[in-house]
């Protein structure tokens, strides 16, 4: 455990002592509990992915599917990744990324 020193006004310390007496604890323990409760409520920073999702949601560009829609989508998937790759290999032709680059034209 780590100790810290906190300077309180005489009035604040008196109130702290009164509160601690009421609940039958020492002031140091009361302050520690209060700080723990307060810090537990502080939100943790969002990850980059979460920030992106929030920005998309705020712009109305993110669709959240219901649990029923998610279950339906999962049930509708019948191909494995290997089967998809095999089908794309059989199709031949240029990869989509190359087609897009061709459509964009040369860089200026």
Any domain includes 1: no
The sign of the dihedral angle between the CA atoms of 34, 40, 41, 42 is positive
Angle 88-93-99 (CA atoms, 0-180°, nearest 5)? 100
- For 17, the domain range is 10-40
Q: What is the pLDDT of residue 74?
A: 86
Statement to judge: residues 52 and 70 lie in one domain: yes
- Two tokens, residue 46: 């969002």
* 20 and 68 housed in the same domain: no
**pLDDT at site 93:** 83
Quote the number of domains for the chain.
2
Does the residue 5 lie in any domain? Answer: no
Residues 76 and 97 both lie in one domain = yes
Q: DSSP string spanning 55-102?
A: HHHHTT--PPPPHHHHHHHHHH----HHHHHHHHHHH-S--HHHHHHH
The pLDDT assigned to 54 comes to 92
In a domain, 60, yes or no: yes
Same-domain status, 61 and 95: yes
Residue 79 belongs to a domain:
yes
pLDDT in tens, the chain (108 residues): 888 999 999 999 999 999 999 999 999 999 999 999 999 999 889 999 999 999 999 999 998 889 999 898 888 888 888 998 888 888 888 888 888 898 998 877
């Amino acid at each position: 455990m780590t100790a810290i020193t906190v300077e309180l006004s005489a009035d604040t310390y008196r109130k702290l002592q009164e509160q601690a007496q009421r609940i039958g604890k020492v002031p140091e323990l009361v302050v520690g509990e209060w700080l723990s409760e307060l810090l537990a409520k502080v939100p943790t920073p969002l990850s980059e992915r979460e920030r992106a999702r929030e920005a998309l949601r705020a712009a109305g560009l993110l669709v959240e599917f219901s649990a029923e829609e998610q279950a339906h989508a999962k049930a509708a998937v019948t191909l494995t990744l290997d089967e998809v790759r095999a089908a794309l290999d059989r199709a031949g032709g240029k990869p989509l990324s190359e087609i897009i680059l061709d459509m964009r034209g040369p860089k200026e």
